[in-house]
Amino acid sequence: MLSTRTKGVLRWGGIILIMLIYMGWVMATALDYGIMRTYAEVMNDGTMSAEACNSLMNDFDGHFSTLVSVSLAGYLVSTVVILIIFRKVR
């Protein structure tokens, strides 16, 4: 039988681990510099053509959609896992 202190450490340790994994997943998606590397030369010239501007905005729009999807899925998964931790460790 586990003591109350051990159960508390298991619960909070599991929750902190889930939060760190979730935040790492969202940060990895949010800090994707692929778009910036692709358009670095265009941005440094000072002027930008309409085609380059439109393609940059389309890439940012797709990146934002990916970020929203990752955030929503990660939130749902982490909430379920935290509830399972609380249920299993009583």
- From first to last of its 90 residues, the chain has per-residue pLDDT tens of 789 899 989 999 999 999 999 988 888 877 776 666 666 666 677 777 788 788 878 888 888 888 888 889 989 999 999 999 888 887
pLDDT at residue 90, as a whole number: 77
Q: What are phi and psi of 3, to 5 degrees?
A: -75, 165
The pLDDT score that the predictor gives to residue 77 is 92
The pLDDT, as a whole number, for residue 30 is 78
Task: Indicate the pTM of the whole model.
Answer: 0.66
Given a contact cutoff of 8 angstroms between Cβ atoms, the answer to whether 42 and 56 are in contact is yes
Buried b (16+ CB within 10 A) or exposed e, 39-74: beebeeeeeeeeeeeeebeeeeeeeeeeeeebeeeb
